[in-house]
Amino acid sequence: MMRVTFPPPMSQRFDPSALGVSYPRTVKLEYRRFADYFKGFDKVDAVRRIFGDRTSQVLRSLRVEFFSSKWGYMGVSDEDGHLVVSAHYLRTGDRRDIYLDVVHELVHVKQFRDGRQLFPENFEYSTAPTEIEAYKVCIAEGRRLGMTDKQVLEYLRVPWMDDKEWRRLARNLGLHPPPPRTKRR
C-alpha cells in the first residue's frame, strides 16, 4: 500500500500518480452528425439565407455534441465550430424556443466558419455584434412564425442576462421592451 502525504509540499509539482490516480489530459470529443438529429433544417428559408447554396453541405458536415446537464441550452464551440446541445434542454425546453435557438446557433456556425470571433472582447452579451446578428435572424424567423412583440421579448429573456441587459439587447434589436416596474414603498 502506498502512503500519501497531504497536502504535497507546494514546492513540488503536483503528480496525480502519487495519489494513485490518473486521467487523460487530452480526450477525443465524441461528435454526432447534426443532420442525423436535426432534420429538415436544410429546407428552412432562414437557414438557407445563412449558408446559401452550401446549406446542405454545411449541415451534413456539421457536428453536434450533446451534454447532460440541467443547466445550459446550446451554443457553438469557439475551438472548432461544432454545435453543443444540452440533452435536458432538448427534452424539456419549449419546442419553438429550441427551433429558434438552432437557427440562432447556425448563424454562429457561419460566423465561426467565416473566421469571426464568437465571443468578442470588450462587448457584453447584449451588445456583441455576433449576438445581435444571430438574434436578428432568429427574430425574423419568429416573426414569420407569427410571434408577437411580447413573445419575442419573452424569448429574449435568458438566465445569464439581468433585466437591464435584456432591455439593452431588445433595444439593440429594434424592439421596445415595456418600462421597468417600479417598486412600491
Number of H helices, E strands in the chain: 8, 4
Q: Given pLDDT bands bounded at 50, 70 and 90, which one contains residue 103?
A: very high
Higher pLDDT, 168 or 119: 168
Q: What is the pTM of this model?
A: 0.84
| Per-residue pLDDT, 22 | 76
Mean pLDDT of 78-84: 94
Mean pLDDT of 73-98: 93
Each residue of 6-38: pLDDT tens digit?
Answer: 554 555 688 888 878 877 776 666 789 999 999
Each residue of 31-79: pLDDT tens digit?
Answer: 899 999 999 999 999 999 999 999 999 999 999 999 888 888 999 999 9
Each residue of 126-172: pLDDT tens digit?
Answer: 999 999 999 999 999 999 999 999 999 999 999 999 999 999 999 99
Rounded to an integer, what distance in angstroms lies between the CA atom of residue 52 and that of residue 75? 21
